Amino acid sequence: MNLVLVDDHPLMLAGLEQLLRAEPEFEILATCTSVAEGWDAVNRYQPDVVILDLKLGEGDGLSLLSRLRPGERPAVVVLTAAEDENIWLKAAQLGARGVVLKATAPRVIEDCLRAVHRGETWLTVGGIDLSARLAQRNAAEAELESSLTPRELEVVRLVAVGAENQEISDRLAISVGTVKIHLHHVYDKLRLSGRQALMRLLREKGY
């Protein structure tokens, strides 16, 4: 199995390389510390699997993942320290075949690589089935899209990740008053009493 490793933490990268080189089935073609290096290595070596950290000093690992075509070579295994379900789900949505926490046992990383190389997925993290949760979220998105305008949906997505009105205003470049109007329309369309009811609904739907 040919691998490319992408992680900007020298100790983590060296430890991972040492771990995998101890198994003859793994051949490491390149070790990279940035999105640019990772992209170049993927194109140059055409590895079977890329092991990708999501927090890179000069960029976001998700940006590299988004440039790779899901279902085609290489498969991507995300190795992350982030214990954030939304980040895991985003990686799965962008086509990651496996998601593994850095705090997990080395044997788990090796088993994940073998499974992904066989064409399987490894998307249960912290007891959460990301495939099932992603399907639930996609169904919820379709339901919301049928009721809300694109702007209202943007506001709802930000509410789902805990953004307050001022942050929503800043991120969408609209006034706080406009945010409140959009939320009022959302509450009316979804027949909700307010923000807390919206948060409960979003949690029920997998956000």
pLDDT tens readout for residues 53-94: 988 766 678 888 888 876 667 999 999 888 888 888 889 888
Its pTM surpasses 0.95:
no
Within a 10 A sphere around the Cβ of 86, how many other Cβ atoms? 13
Q: Are 63 and 40 in contact (CB under 8 A)?
A: no
User: Region 182-202: what's the mean pLDDT?
Assistant: 94
- The predicted structure's pLDDT at residue 114: 96
Nearest CA to 75 out of 54, 99, 58 is that of 99
| 32 membership: H or E segment, kind and range | strand 27-32
The answer to whether the CB of 4 falls within 8 A of the CB of 38 is yes
Q: What is the token pair recorded at 158?
A: 């930000």
User: Model confidence over 6-44: pLDDT tens digits?
Assistant: 998 888 899 999 999 999 999 999 999 998 999 999 999
Among candidate residues 17, 18, 21, 43, the one with its CA nearest the CA of residue 31: 17
With H, G, I as helix, E, B as strand and everything else as coil, classify residue 173.
Answer: coil
How many C-beta atoms surround the C-beta of residue 172 within 10 A?
16
**pLDDT by residue (tens digit) across 124-166?**
988 888 888 888 878 888 888 899 999 999 999 899 878 999 9
Q: Is the pLDDT of residue 51 over 80?
A: yes
Q: Residue 135 contacts by C-beta under 8 Å, 6 or more apart in sequence?
A: none
Residues in contact with 197: Cβ distance below 8 Å, sequence separation at least 6, in sequence order:
187
Q: How far apart are CA 186 and CA 188, in angstroms?
A: 5
Cβ-contact 53, 74 below 8 angstroms: no
User: Taking the CA atoms of the chain, what radius of gyration do you get in angstroms?
Assistant: 20
Task: Return the pLDDT at 86.
Answer: 80
Compute the Cα dihedral for 64, 69, 70, 72 and give only its sign: negative
How far is Cα 174 from Cα 109, in angstroms, rounded to an integer?
44
Helices (H), 147-193: 150-160, 165-172, 176-190
What pLDDT score does 90 carry?
85
